[in-house]
């Protein structure tokens, strides 16, 4: 997750993980629920936060360098930049 405000990004990260955990509980009600798959998915889930200000060229270049260094193509797929305007 990329955001220019790291405090808001952390709040959004917590909210996203909380939503996901709630959703995973709801999935248990489905007849096709695969407990091992869901547990493995949740255990291996990583939501990383990176600082990015699209109005700053240096911030964009720094973000690109960080992603290039830290992410292996298959491990960081998909890499999405979100705009989070809601008050958190």
80: pLDDT strictly greater than 80 = no
CA distance 80 to 77: 9
12: pLDDT strictly greater than 80 = yes
Q: Where are the domains of the chain?
A: 2-70
HEC profile of 30-46: CCCCCHHHHHHHHHHCC
pLDDT at 29: 92
CA distance 78 to 67: 12
At 16, is the pLDDT very low, low, confident or very high (cuts 50, 70, 90)?
very high
pLDDT at 73: 55
pTM of the shown model? 0.69
What is the total residue count of the chain? Answer: 88
For residue 73, list its beta bridge partners: none
* Side-chain-side CA neighbours of residue 39 (13 Å): 3
CA distance 62 to 64: 5
Over residues 25-71, the pLDDT tens digits come to 999 999 999 999 999 989 988 888 999 999 999 999 999 998 888 87
């Amino acid at each position: 997750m990329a955001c220019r405000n790291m405090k808001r990004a952390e709040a959004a990260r917590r909210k996203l993980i909380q939503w996901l955990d709630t959703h995973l509980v709801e999935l248990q009600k489905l007849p096709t629920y695969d407990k091992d798959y869901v547990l493995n998915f949740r255990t291996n889930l990583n939501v990383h936060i990176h600082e990015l200000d699209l109005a700053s060229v240096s911030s964009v270049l720094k973000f690109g360098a960080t992603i290039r260094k830290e992410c292996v193509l298959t491990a960081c797929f998909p890499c999405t930049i979100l705009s989070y305007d809601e008050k958190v």
